[in-house]
Chain A
Amino acid sequence: MNTLQRLATACMLCITTHATAQAANVTVVISGLGGSEEYSEKFNQYATTIADATRKIALTPTDVMLLRGDASKKEILIALFDAIATRTDIDKFSAFFIGHGSFDGRAYKFNIPGPDITGEELAELLNKIQSKQQLVVASTSASGALLDIIDTGNQSTGQRILITATKNGREKTAVLFPEFMVEALEGATADTDKNESISAAEIFEYANRAVESHYETEKLLAPEHARLKGEAAEGFEITRYGNLLSSQDQIPQELISTRETLANQLSILRSRKEDIDEDEYFDTLQDLMLKLADIQRQIDDSSK
Chain B
Amino acid sequence: MSPQTPPDVERVRYAVEDVVSHALDLVDRIVAAVQPVLAAQPAPRRSDLAVVEPVVAPVLADLDQPVQGAGFVAAVGLLEDARWWLEWFARDPDGRVQRLVTHSEPQAMGFYDYESLPWYLVPSTTGRPHVTGPYVDYVCTEEYTLTFSSPVMVGDRFLGVAGADIAVKSAEQRLLPALCAADRRLAVVNDDGRILSSNDGRHVCGDLLPDADARADAAHPVAGVPLSIVTLSD
Q: Are A and B subunits of one complex?
A: no
Q: Which residues of B contact A (CB under 8 A)?
A: none
Q: Which residues of A contact B (CB under 8 A)?
A: none
